[in-house]
């Protein structure tokens, strides 16, 4: 189910102020507590420029983290997890999609190469909508 406003879909996300708050809400897809460990995750940065935050109007740049463990690389097994936008590993922590295939999420993002967060939400929408409809 998609939220809509007229013909425009409203981007959905959930915000957390700390890694601890995010990890409490998502124990199966934890974010590493250490900044060094967060920097080691395979993430999407839009060619190192970051994605503009047009969701909260902060205009900060963000990366997309695929949790747990980063986006699966070629030859690595897929995992189910959460896609989180962070200000380069720092707050806010914006959950863009939950309970999705991290490989399919990576493929959806890299196919569209979004430069802002609302475009990333849109790229993930079909996966996120399926995850919601598959939930018990």
Residue 4 lies in a domain: no
Domain assignment of residue 73, given as a range: 9-134
What's the total number of domains in the chain? 1
Q: What percent of the chain has pLDDT over 90?
A: 62
Residue 2 lies in a domain: no
Q: Using CA atoms, how far apart are residues 108 and 7, in angstroms rounded to an integer?
A: 22
Asked if the model's pLDDT at residue 88 lies above 90, the reply is: no
Asked if the model's pLDDT at residue 124 lies above 80, the reply is: yes
- At 4 the pLDDT is 36
pTM of the predicted protein model? 0.86
Residue 128 lies in a domain: yes
pLDDT mean over 69-78: 93
Asked if the model's pLDDT at residue 29 lies above 50, the reply is: yes
Torsion region of 39: left, alpha or beta (phi above 0 gives left; psi -120 to 50 gives alpha) = alpha
């Amino acid at each position: 189910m998609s939220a809509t406003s007229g013909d425009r879909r409203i981007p959905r996300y959930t915000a957390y102020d700390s890694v601890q708050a995010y990890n409490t809400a998502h124990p199966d897809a934890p974010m590493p507590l250490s900044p060094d460990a967060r920097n080691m995750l395979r993430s999407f940065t839009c060619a190192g420029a970051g994605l503009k935050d047009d969701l909260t109007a902060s205009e900060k740049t963000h990366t997309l983290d695929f949790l747990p463990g980063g986006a699966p690389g070629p030859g690595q097994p897929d995992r189910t997890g959460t896609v989180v936008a962070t200000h380069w590993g720092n707050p806010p922590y914006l959950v863009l999609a939950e309970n999705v295939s991290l490989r399919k999420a990576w493929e959806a993002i890299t196919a569209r190469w979004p430069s802002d967060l609302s475009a990333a939400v849109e790229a993930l929408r079909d996966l996120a909508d399926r995850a919601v409809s598959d939930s018990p």
